Structure 1
Amino acid sequence: MGTLAVEPATHSSPPPGPDRPAPRRSARLYGPLLAFLIASGAFCASWAARGTFPFGTTGRAVNDQANQYVPFHRALWDLVHGRAAGDLLFTWRGGFGQQFLSDYHTYLGNPFSWLAVLVPRAHVDLAVFAITPVTTGAAAALMTVYLGMLRPGPWWQRGVLGAVYGLCGWALSDASYIPMWLWGLVALPLLGIAVEWCLQERRWPGVALLVALAWFGNFYTAMMATMAAGVLLAVRLILLDLTRAQRLRAVWRAATATATGILLTLPLLLPAFLSSAAAQPTGAAAFDPVRIEVFLTGMLPGTHLWGGRPRLYVASLGLILAGAFLLNKAVARRTRLVWAAAALLVLVSFQFPPTQYVWHGLAVPNGNPYRETFVFSGMLVVIAWLSLAHRPRPAHLALSAALLVAAAFALRRTDDFGGATWPAVLGGGAVSLLALVLLALGEKRRVLVPLAAVLMIGVVLAESTAAAVNADARRARERWAKPVATSSESITNHFEAVRSVDGWPAYRTDPGTPHTSYNDAAALRAEGPQYYSSYLPARTYQALEPLGYGWTNSGRTLFGADNPVLDAIFSIGARAEPGPEKNSWQARTFPAPPLVTVRSGPYASPNPPASVYARQEQLLGATVYQVPPVTRGGTATLQTYATRCLPGSEAFWYSPRLYGTLTSGGTARPLEDRTTGVVRLGEVPASGTVDVTVKTRTRGATAGEHPIGCLDRAELARTVARLTTTGATHVTTTGHTIEATLPDGATGTAVLAMTDIPGWRCSTPVKNFHGLVSLDIPPTTKHLSCTFTPQGLTPGLTAAALALLALTSVTVAGLRHRRRP
């Protein structure tokens, strides 16, 4: 194994050796610990300043934090504590049964997510919030270690700049409430350390494990961090004084270790990729870069722009040091040019669609299109450290600070400019400059160094706290990001009501409405249709949407519907609903067929095929609705509908294209187009007349030809009794398997109350029954069973086993080589 040639002292630093002993282990921990405390402390201080939970009564959960991350972490708690209906591969709690492995990899991959299983279930949301300061603190600590590998220097200075990275604009504004994305902040310095090991021709197994750790946490941001690591490797290969053979060996080690590390994650990565391919597609638009002035404004500290804007900034201290880097003649000219060129190329790549698609894995981002900006912030901090480690001159620092102020002045009229930006630029910039000048003077007057240290730590902590407060406050003004509570008396009572009627797997329990989150089935330990995930299969959406279930997010979010026919189809035998007192909930049970029913022959609904009621009947296998023609009147914004039904029947309404208010029988109900689903109107009066008025803001749309269906409850009861009698006598579910015992002489088709998603393998070939799983019943068959295996799991495990074998072989060979005399 060759030795690593290094640059002169002005370029980089050699690793510890016989002539340069490594620092004491305890001393090596000081810098990372300081970085961790500053980064995590700034987040906690910002929450306390805003009075948000757990430092106040204001809700903490933002958008998907309430709708996905807290519910999925509660599902993880249930899984670990043996309370889950399912296992790591599959869950029955949501979407009438869905894969769980891809959800785990995407939403729960951050290793700190396991903090949630260490607390009582009632406090899982608090553990989810704690993931943010803990992860950003870990990222800051690892960046401190990486900076020390690039260039030695005082531990506290590296710790401060490590915290500057952990508190970059991307972390404060974009990913502060997204546990799995925050792992990308950790992945970048992790892979930077791996790059240095490759250059030193050391620890190939360690490099592979660091890559695997980055990709296990979250493949999306790990992919971005891996590409950034490629840039870091290229820069170091250019700057270090290496032979051609040494460069080739470094590239070979990096490539093979990266491939091995990624292959180790393939049991999670491949199923997630295939689940994404089978998921309901989104309506993501093509990348449209923001205007150049908006883009540049995103580099100013403390700025939080609306919508999908790039948050590129770091604290003023980092910006001033990075600006002085190009002027610092203590750094070799080649080093300055190469690092500056690399950072500039990365920055420019964010504005061009082809390179943006590469950063995002050749996909159009659904949401903020600038999700990779932490990469630039990381490079900015590296440049700032190289500048600080080479003792920049006060004049150069002052010029850099002046340029920062000038840039803020030039961009002051950009949309949404303001908030914490001027205080950060003027106040934070002035204190940062003062601290750096004192540090420079401290070379001759050592008494000034502690003062400089206090100022540097204080300004980063204060400025980042203010920026986080500003980001939270401005984001909360957007309707989609208004923080909500994830713990309350109502939520606790809702959970207890659901548990009081638990009957799984004899029947399902629907958590009811109003919902607490889009994943109430997972959050409240129920088995209803409520499910929100990027992996919601297109087949599930295609099966449930035509039946009258509400949906949103391009079909990746499903809601429940209080409809007796749908309850019968999907074996829902209990439902929670608000009680008479404030924050109270109650639950009721009712007869429901088993999860596996038997259909003896074909059935065709006599009602109009295009109506939601006929589609429900096709699945139920019985005629239970009257779907009469309606008479429409009124105006475009105040529409009236009238029809006649059998007195005593129960009227329902379905209008997925109308948004507004529905009034019938003196009762007003909100209509939110496709989100609402089927609506219960009530009992048809003795006159048989059903009148509906819709005040709508949806111009040009109507309720369609068959919005009203009238349910014969007696006929439905007879149908439920028949399906119960002829259906499975016993059903068991264990993890990702369902087994059913059929009555003697059962013939025809067994219909399982779960959607026909990719991955089901059954005791007889699977057939699609209007979107549900069904099986032909062979003669004399008494037992049926189905097992779910995520697509890609088997080849993923095979590839991971081969990668593990390679990793083990190299490790053993290395140990044997070291033991040779």
Structure 2
Amino acid sequence: MPPAAETVRDEVDGEEAADGAPGAPRAPRRPTVVGPLSAALLGAVLFCLATRLSGSHPFGPMTRNVVDLGQQYLPYHAYWRSFLLGETRGDAFLNWNSGFGANFLGDIGTYLSSPFSLLVVLFPADRIELALYVVTAVKIAAAAAAMALLLLRLRPGPWPVAAVLGTAYALSGWTFGSGADVPMWLDGLVAFPLLCLVGEWARAGRRPVLGPLVVALAWTANFYTAYMATVGAAVVLAVRLLTADETAGARQRLVGALRAARAVLIGVGLAAPLVVVVFLATRVADPTPETTFAPAAWTDLVARLLPATESVDSPALFIGTPALALALTLPFHRAVPPRVRAGWSAAVVLVALSLQWEPTHLLWHAGASPNGNPYRQAFVLCGLLLIAAWFSAAPGMPRPAALLAGGALLGLLAWAAQGSPDIDGWTYPVLAVSAVLALAAAVLLTLPDGRIPARVLPVLAVTLLVVAQAGETAVTGKRIEEQQREKLASSPRVGPWHTAVADAVARADGWPRHRTEPGEVPGGNDVLLVGGQGADYYSSLTSEVTAGTLASLGFGYYAKGRHPVTLDNPVTDALFSIATRVRSRPTEPVRRDAAPRASVSVTTTPVPPLVTVRAPDRRGTRPGDSAFAEQERLLGAEVYELPPVTRTGRTLTARCPAGSQVWFWAPEYKGAAALLGEWSVDFDGRPPAVRAPMQALGTVPASGDVRVELTPEARPRLPRRPVGCLLQDRLDSAVRQLTATGATRVHTTGHTVTAELPQGSQGFAVLAVPRVSGWRCAAGAAEPRPARAYEGLVAVPLDGRASTVTCSFQPPGLRLGGAVGLAALLALAATGVLHRRSRR
């Protein structure tokens, strides 16, 4: 080994000398402390630097709220902050704000159960974007620290290199392209090295209690990516069992594997109270269209190893040119035992191949091919590449032959990536600069003693390595953010528009006497951001009942049904007890580089209470072949005229009562529609992803002639009855009837509704909440039973004797998960007791 490499090993690996030892040189701190801390600091700084270079908030004017970051994670963290501070109407079981009542414990387990999410309480409500950014940065720092710690535990080596490689893992292309936009996945990034540590403890027979607790924490934080991390950790454990100790027998290896399996089983069991709830919620979630896995072109896969590349159709594998070069030298590094070289090289190749084969693709994703990004497990391969890089770097700088071989492989990969559409104009220039700096660092470590002191050479080499890795990472992060802004839809920053609507909602809120609908604001999950109780809801767990019921009533949706949106319609307002509606209009164009502003208005109309009484014979008899008829069936009265429609080219003609309001329902229609003499209204139907909501076109003239002009963007697909004319006097009469026979008083707690009814009520008490799994109800003093459904809403049969009804929601799976969790806790306690006895 070159003298300089020996020096850096001596300086960074030595334990601290005994205090006061005469003549003892001052040794550095423990590498397993300073290495992870350095990685965490470097990772957070580089992430912020990449954001600054891209001009994104909070270091620039541009929004970071790309797709789900703005539509899901930002609103959820805003609501989470309010929930933790006791400012919400619901509790951990039920979210009253979204989707007219949604399973909140399932959403907690999907989006918010990470301990890092608790940081949002440290920020004011109007700084929720900054709070989420800090949460993201802290997760990245934790991932860097965890990987650096793992590397130093796998094999002693120079802590500065471990810190750099830990940072490379935390700021891989996967992090910039996927994790930073879906912050919940970053918990899997943290979990992978921690679960690998659990495997190391199991192999050595250490920490039998802490290991399951780490597994439980990982699976509780985000079980989806924790599953992938667990599969990846199993690969790492298998390689370690086969390569770490050549003297170990088959029995020792089997015992180590069984200890690891025990830790995983107990840990997952401890997380079961949340995991089971989420699992059962996914079973009843609105199904997304099945997807067929198509492997990425190998040219694109290779290109994603290079800097400044971005795509959702290929795996993000960038880890930095210096780190990749080190990984590629491992097969040729003679200072590393052959078994270790073969084991880690085989693991990297096999995992890379598993990304491209459908059976193993399904294994990585727990049997279900995901919609959208099919390479969500790519962070595991990034981790394996960095472990390979560490095993090549830890024994000292590879010899020139190994460096040349690794460099040749790197050059071959760069050449093979030519022609890939993922290659950016920055890719090859950044790659070249980083490679030159990494080569300079290698040369410094091979220089003989001369004018430059031997202790200075390692410092200069590490400095060049940090500059090469850090500069390339920052530029890659900048370019990925910029490319995403160009390719993907984004929401504007939270600003005065949201604040104005939130203030209006807070002043008008009358829950539970009635709902307050905040209307549309930029972004998604509006009620989570600004308050109120509306239809808007975007979750992977959106119930099929909720999506189907609202769609049948004329509501629109995005995300293939999992994002229902508000419907500004007086009939559905009556059905869901929406008395107060906030409407807002932008006062200036909505831009990506500025916070949006709008004028806000509030209107209030009489509506029935949250709980109404429906006699069985009060249901509408009109066939349910349109959203208009479905509304009438649920209302129990015919309030629309549904005229025959004649279609001539792009013109629809019909006749309706003068003064009635014309409504147009065409969920698959994309284009504009205009009533003669009125403003045109835009529809954005794009099946199966987007369903256009029903909208008002104007008032029927005195002649009674209805003429609707269509301006479609494609061949229009219209339902049989796309036009309904609403007669306000009929609706007013229906509202008065439902109010007179409905609840006289409604009281709600976190997940319970109690309503007092007029004496002698018969038929059904209907709660204006979708009948999702978990609702149990009782009339009077009867035993609670699973709620009945009335046209998709929660219903309780009445026999004329009960004057109260009570409905309560409990997330399905909570009892089963609790039982499994208790059993796992007992198993953990028994494991701890047996371990202590064996040590004695």
3-state SS of 1:662 partner: strand
Deviation string 1:36-70 (CA, Å, 9 cap, x unpaired) is 12211111111111211111211111110110001
Spell out the pairing of 1:111-122 with structure 2 (5 A cutoff): 111-122=115-126
* SS of the residue 1:584 aligns to: strand
The one-character-per-residue Cα deviations of 1:559-610 (angstroms, maximum 9, x if unpaired) are 1111100000011111111259552212221111111000123135354531
- For residue 679 of structure 2, the aligned residue among 657, 667, 684 is 667
In the alignment, which residue of structure 2 is the partner of 1:795? 816
Give a deviation string over 1:306-352, Cα, whole Å, max 9, x none: 33211112111111111111111111111111111111111111110
Using the size of structure 2 for normalisation, the TM-score is 0.92
CA contact (8 A) 2:609 2:743 kept: yes
Query: Which of 186, 195, 200 is the matching residue for 2:204?
Result: 200
Residue in structure 2 matched with residue 647 of structure 1 by the alignment:
658
Distance 2:766 2:192 in 1: 49
1:302 to 1:579, Cα distance in 2 relative to 1, 3 A: closer
Map 1:422-433; keep pairs closer than 5 Å.
422-433=428-439
Aligned-residue offset at 1:692 = 0.7
Asked if 1:134 is matched to 2:138, the reply is yes
One-letter amino acid of the structure 2 residue matched with residue 692 of structure 1: V
Match of 2:432, SS? helix
Structure 1 distance, partners of 2:386, 2:630, is 59
Deviations 1:515-564 (A, max 9, x none): 32221122211111111111111111221111100012221110111110
Instruction: Give secondary structure in 1 for the equivalent of 2:424.
Output: coil
Q: Distance in 2 between matches of 1:566 and 1:400?
A: 66
Whether the 8 Å contact between 1:442 and 1:448 is mirrored in structure 2 is: no
The residue number in structure 1 matching 2:455 is 446
- In structure 2, which of residues 696, 704, 709 is the aligned counterpart of residue 680 of structure 1? 696
Q: Which moved more, 1:182-191 or 1:235-244?
A: 235-244
Contact 1:500–1:587, Cα closer than 8 Å, also in 2: no
| 1:307 equivalent among 304, 312, 329 | 312
CA distance in 2, matches of 1:126, 1:213: 25
Structure 1 residue aligned with 2:642: 627
Of stretches 79-88 and 412-421 in structure 1, the one that deviates more from structure 2 is 412-421
Alpha-carbon distance between aligned partners in 1 of 2:275 and 2:493, rounded to the nearest angstrom: 30
- Report the residue type matching 1:716 in the other structure: L
Aligned-partner residue type, residue 109 of structure 2:
H
| 1:188, distance to aligned residue in structure 2 (A) | 0.6
Which residue in the other structure is 2:503 paired with?
496
Q: Does 1:251 align with 2:294?
A: no
- The partner residue of 2:615 within 567, 581, 600 is 600
- TM-score norm. by structure 1 comes to 0.94
Is 1:84 matched with 2:88? yes
Match of 1:368 in 2: 373
Match of 1:3 in 2: none
CA contact (8 A) 1:176 1:182 kept: yes
Is the Cα contact below 8 Å between 1:394 and 1:436 reproduced in 2? no
Partners of 1:581 and 1:552 lie apart in 2 by 25
Structure 1 residue aligned with 2:605: 590
How many angstroms apart in 2 are the aligned matches of 1:20 and 1:56?
Answer: 47
Read off the aligned partner of 1:124 and give its amino acid letter.
I
Seen in structure 2, the aligned counterparts of structure 1 residues 658 and 202 have a Cα distance that, compared at 3 Å, is same
SS in 2 for 1:695: strand
- Greater mean deviation of Cα atoms: 244-253 or 38-47: 244-253
Counterpart residue identity of residue 680, structure 1: A
- Verify: 1:511 aligned to 2:503, yes or no: no
Q: Which runs of 5+ in 2 are unaligned?
A: 1-5, 7-12, 20-26, 589-597, 780-784
The aligned runs of 1:254-333 (5 Å cut-off) are 254-304=260-310, 306-333=311-338
- Residue 20 of structure 1 and its aligned partner are, at CA, apart by 12
Deviations, residues 729-752 of structure 1 (Å, cap 9, x unaligned): 111111111111112222221111
Aligned residue number for residue 107 of structure 1: 111
Q: Percent identity among equivalent residues? A: 39
Could you report, residue by residue, the CA deviation over 1:483-507 in whole angstroms, capped at 9, with x for unpaired residues? 4323111121121122221111111
Is the alpha carbon distance of 1:569 and 1:753 closer, same or farther for their aligned partners in structure 2, counting shifts above 3 Å? same
One-letter code aligned to 2:171? L
- Distance in 2 separating the partners of 1:248 and 1:606: 69
Q: Does the 8 Å contact 2:214/2:267 carry over to 1?
A: yes
Deviations along 1:227-252, whole A, 9 cap, x unmatched?
11111111111111313332222112
Q: 3-state SS of the aligned residue for 1:504?
A: coil
CA contact (8 A) 2:499 2:530 kept: no
State the shift of 1:401 in Å.
2.5
1:258-299 Cα distance to aligned partner (Å, 9 max, x none): 100000111111111111111111013111101222222222
2:793 equivalent to 1:772: yes
Q: Distance in 1 between matches of 2:773 and 2:603?
A: 34
- Other structure's SS at 1:749 match: strand
Q: Which residue, out of 163, 166, 172, partners 1:162? A: 166
Shift, 1:788, TM fit: 0.9
Judge conservation of contact 2:515–2:577 (CA < 8 Å) in 1.
yes
Q: Contact 2:581/2:603 (CA < 8 Å) preserved in 1?
A: yes
Distance in 1 (CA, whole Å) between partners of 2:627 and 2:448 is 78
User: Offset of 1:510 from its aligned partner?
Assistant: 1.1
CA contact (8 A) 1:578 1:585 kept: yes
Q: Secondary structure at the match of 2:369?
A: coil
Classify the secondary structure of the residue corresponding to 1:532.
Answer: coil
Q: Does 1:484 align with 2:482?
A: no
d(CA) in 1 for partners of 2:16 and 2:743? 78
Instruction: Specify whether residues 580 and 292 from structure 1 end up closer, same or farther in structure 2 by C-alpha distance, changes over 3 A only.
Output: closer
1:716 offset after TM fit, Å? 1.1
Q: Which residue of 2 aligns with 1:172?
A: 176
Alignment partners' CA distance in 2, 1:771 and 1:594: 18
Structure 1: segments with no counterpart, 5+ residues = 1-8, 10-15
1:6 counterpart residue number: none
* Deviation at residue 758 of structure 1 after TM alignment: 0.8
Q: What residue is the counterpart of 1:785 in the other structure? A: 806
Q: Distance in 2 between matches of 1:432 and 1:40?
A: 22
CA distance in 1, matches of 2:544, 2:718: 25
Would the aligned equivalents of 2:299 and 2:418 in 1 still touch at CA under 8 Å? no
Instruction: Indicate if the aligned counterparts of 2:229 and 2:380 stay in contact, CA closer than 8 A.
Output: yes
CA RMSD of aligned residues (A): 2.3
Does the Cα contact within 8 Å between 1:662 and 1:670 map onto a contact in 2? yes
Asked whether the 8 Å contact 1:397–1:433 carries over to 2, the reply is no
Task: Verify: 1:33 aligned to 2:37, yes or no.
Answer: yes
Distance (whole Å) between structure 1 residues aligned to residue 587 and residue 218 of structure 2: 49
Q: Write the mapping of 1:526-537 to structure 2, written as runs, cut at 5 A.
A: 526-537=532-543
Moved more, 206-215 or 237-246: 237-246
Q: Is it true that 1:810 corresponds to 2:826 in the alignment? A: no
**Aligned residue pairs, count:** 797
Give the whole-Å Cα distance in 1 for the aligned partners of 2:800 and 2:17: 81
Note the 1:500-579 alignment, pairs <5 A: 500-513=507-520, 515-578=521-584
Q: How far apart, CA to CA, are the structure 2 residues paired with 1:192 and 1:245? A: 21
Amino acid at match of 1:517: G
Cα pair 2:492 2:523 within 8 Å, conserved: no
Q: How do residues 362-401 of structure 1 correspond to structure 2 at under 5 angstroms?
A: 362-391=367-396, 392-401=398-407
8 Å CA contact 1:759, 1:788 repeated in 2: yes
Whether the 8 Å CA contact 1:559–1:675 is kept in 2: the answer is no
Moved more, 258-267 or 20-29: 20-29
**Alignment equivalent of 1:716, drawn from 731, 741, 744:** 731
Shift of 1:25: 6.7
Give the conservation status (yes or no) of the 8 Å contact 1:38–1:457: no
Residues 56-100 of structure 1, C-alpha deviations (whole Å, 9 max, x = no match): 211111110110001111111121111112111111111110101
Work out whether residues 405 and 425 of structure 1, in 8 Å CA contact, stay in contact via their aligned partners in 2. no
Residue equivalent to 1:4 = none
Q: Residue in 1 aligned with 2:23?
A: none
The match for 2:628 is 613
| Structure 2 residue identity aligned to 1:163 | T
CA contact (8 A) 1:117 1:124 kept: no
Post-superposition shift, 1:812? Answer: 4.2
Contact 1:732 1:739 in 2 (8 A): yes
Question: Do structure 1's residue 71 and structure 2's residue 92 form an aligned pair?
Answer: no
Report the residue type matching 2:485 in the other structure.
A
